[in-house]
Amino acid sequence: MTEFQSYSIAIIGALISGGINTLAGNGSVITLTILTEVLGLPPNVANGTNRVGIFTQSSVASWVFYKNGKLNISSNKKYIIPIFIGAIAGVLLAINVSNEQFRAVFKFMMVFMLIAVLVKPKRWLRETDLHFKPKWYIYIPLLFALGFYGGFIQMGMGVFFLIIMVLALRMNITESNALKGFVIAIYTLFVIGIFHFQGLIDWKMGLIMAIGQTLGGYLTAKFASRYKQADQIAYYVLIVVLVVAVVKLFLN
């Protein structure tokens, strides 16, 4: 395979990944596969390199959501802080421990997430419950664990985020996607710094992938912000993403 072909696959795959990550999650399965199988990066370097595009994609997507009134930062500060702290703890583990062993149980987690998404689908299409006040001793540990997972290995983070925000904290799926992009952008900036100083980022590959991821994130966020049926489409995309992931993981 020529260098041009490799880069073309990387950008196109990243474009698809950016759209999936913005509307649902688990798009990092695509980018991590390209980084390891097509571009030949070691798993820990691929993990770090993938964060470059995750940052640009999430930043642009959250800006588009904010511009269109789908992102309320001030009212969600209590959710952002524990996720951020957990993410920093997770990346400190990621630079010292291989996540390959974790992948052995990842497929069972995907099955659990698929079941959670399919049970009572109406919960995914409701508006944000402004009267619901979650207990701090429930949401802080839950969101810290979510952030820890995201810092450790980005793959699947978006799906976990949506499940927690929609099902546990009763937030609308589009608003959850908007908050997801903002939170991930914030902690990923710090995560990139840590990976960089450990020499675990291939900046050339990361920036090439970021082109596709950012464009995918921008276009998808623009669509999700403007169309009423975006909630329903996001829900169906989430189901498809999980079904494909489960089938792929169990067949390998």
Give the span between the Cα atoms of 244 and 221, in whole angstroms: 22
Number of domains in the chain: 1
Q: Which residue has the higher pLDDT, 2 or 143?
A: 143
pLDDT tens track for 175-227: 999 999 999 999 899 889 988 999 999 999 999 999 999 999 999 999 999 88
- 216 neighbors 15 (Cβ within 8 angstroms): yes
pLDDT tens track for 72-97: 888 888 999 999 999 989 888 877 76
- 46 neighbors 28 (Cβ within 8 angstroms): no
Distance of alpha carbon 139 from the chain centroid? 19
Q: What is the pTM of this model?
A: 0.87
Tokens of residue 183, six digits = 């939170």
pLDDT tens track for 118-141: 888 888 888 888 888 889 999 999
- Domain containing residue 224: 3-251
Tokens of residue 206, six digits = 């990361």
